[in-house]
Amino acid sequence: MNVKIPFVDLSFQHQPIQNKIQQAIEKVLLNGDFVLGKALADFEQKFAAASDTAYGIGVASGTDAIALGLQACNVGVGDEVILPANTFVATLIGVIRAGATPIFADCDPETALIDLEAAAKVVTGKTKAIIPVHLYGQMVSPRQLLDFAKTHNVLIFEDAAQAHLAERDGYKAGSVGIAAAFSFYPSKNLGAVGDGGILLTRDGEVAKKMVRLRNYGASYKYYHTEPGTNSRLDTLQAAVLLEKLPYLPEWNHLRLEIAQQYDAEFAQFAASGIIPMQNQSGAGHVYHLYVVKITESCSVSRQELQETLGNAGIQTGIHYPIPCHLQPAFTNLGYQLGDFPHAETLAKQILSLPMYPGLTTNQVKEIFAAIAFTFTSKQQLLVVNG
């Protein structure tokens, strides 16, 4: 199939700064500081500052940022951690790797963000932390989170893998809780040219422990105070991220403008049963993904819509088709179908449309022409078969 509009296209971001990226890589090659080098230290400081946070500790992936970050916050064996059922499996794996017990909560069907009222119902005496996943580029309300943490005496550990520089209630993603994990997977709003992640924290002791944990648990060379691991953000990746970081606010703004175009077009489909996920944070939403629900009242199915778009050369995605509690690998947690109805319903309804800086107005119109064609074709088929 000829792809006319890919789900993700990084060329708009990379081409104008290609020379800067190449020069940054060459500088690392010349310096030879491939591990824990100067570019990493510079990026850690600048990304933390951009996120209104004190410390940044680069690691090998977003998953490691969660797993090691929780350990750095002294969350582990015997502790329960609340997280949403509708998140990427990395959030769950991070909790398990930290040694803690994951406790799922359902989500808000309008935003797909964790439902804090549902989360409150699963708090126990063992609950140590809650992980609000800032999903699709929108933060869970910091004001509500802080109230929740104070009421239930738990830590807030943010999963901000999809929310680079997102804002809400006067807070930036990564600045609300004791710590926050970010991913720099290439397709993220701020992406590396491979895997990478970072832990942000305002707590100096958490930062010090995280520095040890990512580097074999060493307080200094050959002196290991805890069983850490090898998880360091490569200097080459940090150098690339350092060059891209100044452009991130502009790229996020372009994502917002594209989302507003989508919203305007979807207004024409208000009665069709296709509903965009609700934006409750205005310009603070950084739209890592643009997600819609194909509800039961819609005359076309999600599969039919995906197929028509695919036949037109338009790629789409589903984030995520199977909630964590129903994944075969984690049946030992004891959850079953029906435990989290909102997450389960969304998994059957949601569809992610192309979203990236550089997506043009004409391309958005082309996407909607294909959506409209889906409805027209279905109606014609019904008339023929009627």
Where are the chain's structural domains?
A: 11-245, 248-385
Query: Which CATH fold would you assign to the domain 248-385?
Result: Aspartate Aminotransferase, domain 1 (3.90.1150)
Question: What's at 172, amino acid-wise?
Answer: K
**Cα radius of gyration (the chain):** 22
One of 20, 46, 128, 188 is an active-site residue; which one?
Answer: 188
User: Is the confidence at residue 90, as pLDDT, over 90?
Assistant: yes
pLDDT value for 376 = 83
- Label residue 377 by pLDDT band (50, 70, 90): confident
Per residue in 232-279, pLDDT tens?
999 999 999 999 999 999 999 999 999 999 999 999 888 899 999 999
Strand partners, 353: 290
Question: CATH 2.30.29.30: does it fit domain 11-245?
Answer: no
**Residue 348 falls in the annotated catalytic set:** no
Q: Decide: residue 362, CB within 10 A, 0-12 exposed, 13-18 middle, 19+ buried.
A: exposed
State how far the Cα of 333 lies from the Cα of 118, in Å rounded to an integer: 18
